Amino acid sequence: MNGTPDLAFARKILAAQPFSALLGTRLVAFGDGEATLELDNREDLRQQYGYVHGGVLAYVAENAMAFAAGTASGNRPLTAGFTIDYVRPADGTSLLARARVVRAGRGLAVCRCDVVCVGPDGGETVCAVAQGTISFAPAAAAGRS
Amino acid sequence: MNGTPDLAFARKILAAQPFSALLGTRLVAFGDGEATLELDNREDLRQQYGYVHGGVLAYVAENAMAFAAGTASGNRPLTAGFTIDYVRPADGTSLLARARVVRAGRGLAVCRCDVVCVGPDGGETVCAVAQGTISFAPAAAAGRS
Amino acid sequence: MNGTPDLAFARKILAAQPFSALLGTRLVAFGDGEATLELDNREDLRQQYGYVHGGVLAYVAENAMAFAAGTASGNRPLTAGFTIDYVRPADGTSLLARARVVRAGRGLAVCRCDVVCVGPDGGETVCAVAQGTISFAPAAAAGRS
Amino acid sequence: MNGTPDLAFARKILAAQPFSALLGTRLVAFGDGEATLELDNREDLRQQYGYVHGGVLAYVAENAMAFAAGTASGNRPLTAGFTIDYVRPADGTSLLARARVVRAGRGLAVCRCDVVCVGPDGGETVCAVAQGTISFAPAAAAGRS
**Predicted confidence band of residue D145 (pLDDT cuts 50, 70, 90):** very low
pLDDT given for residue A33 in this prediction = 97
Which residue type is seen at B31? G
CATH match of A7-141 with 3.10.129.10: yes
Averaged pLDDT score across all residues of chain A: 93
Contact C102/A85, CB-based, under 8 Å?
yes
pLDDT tens digit string along D84-124?
999 999 999 999 999 999 999 989 999 999 999 999 999 99
pLDDT given for residue D139 in this prediction = 59
Contact C126/A88, CB-based, under 8 Å?
no
- Count Cβ–Cβ pairs < 8 Å, chain A vs chain C: 39
Chains that touch A (3 or more CB pairs under 8 A): B, C, D
pLDDT tens digit string along C115-133?
999 999 999 999 999 999 9
Which residue type is seen at A24? G
Contact A112/C129, CB-based, under 8 Å?
yes
- Count Cβ–Cβ pairs < 8 Å, chain B vs chain D: 39
- DSSP states along A109-121: EEEEEEEEEE-TT
Q: Measured between CA atoms, how close is B15 to chain A, in angstroms?
A: 8
Contact B135/C107, CB-based, under 8 Å?
yes
Contact C53/D21, CB-based, under 8 Å?
no
Q: What single DSSP character describes residue A131?
A: E
pLDDT given for residue C130 in this prediction = 98
Contact A107/D81, CB-based, under 8 Å?
no
Spans of all domains in chain A? 7-141
**Predicted confidence band of residue D4 (pLDDT cuts 50, 70, 90):** confident
Residue D1 reports pLDDT greater than 50: no
CB-nearest to B49 from A20, A82, A142 is A142
Residues 6+ apart with CB under 8 A from D67: D10, D13, D14, D27, D30, D35, D37, D77, D99
> Of the candidates C49, C61, C50, which has an alpha carbon nearest to the alpha carbon of residue C23?
C61
**Predicted confidence band of residue A137 (pLDDT cuts 50, 70, 90):** confident
Contact D80/A83, CB-based, under 8 Å?
no
Phi, psi (5° rounding) for residue C144? -100, 160
CA dihedral over A58, A60, A61, A66, signed as positive or negative: positive
Enumerate the H helices of D71-132 as residue ranges.
none
Q: Which residues of C touch D49 (CB under 8 A)?
A: 142-145
Q: Which residues of B touch D83 (CB under 8 A)?
A: 83, 131
Burial class (CB in 10 A: 0-12, 13-18, 19+), C33: middle
Q: Which residues of B touch D98 (CB under 8 A)?
A: none
Q: Measured between CA atoms, how close is B132 to chain C, in angstroms?
A: 9
Average pLDDT by stretches of 10, chain B with 145 residues: 81 98 98 98 97 98 98 94 98 98 95 98 98 85 47
pLDDT tens digit string along D30-76?
999 999 999 999 999 999 999 999 999 999 999 999 999 999 998 99
Which parts of B4-137 are beta strand (E)?
26-31, 34-40, 76-86, 94-104, 108-118, 124-137
pLDDT given for residue A102 in this prediction = 98
Number of H helices, E strands in chain D: 3, 6
Low-confidence ranges of chain C (pLDDT < 70): 1-2, 139-145
pLDDT given for residue C137 in this prediction = 86
What is the complex's ipTM, to 2 decimals? 0.94
Contact C145/D81, CB-based, under 8 Å?
no
Q: Which residue of C has its CA nearest to B108?
A: C80
pLDDT given for residue C74 in this prediction = 85
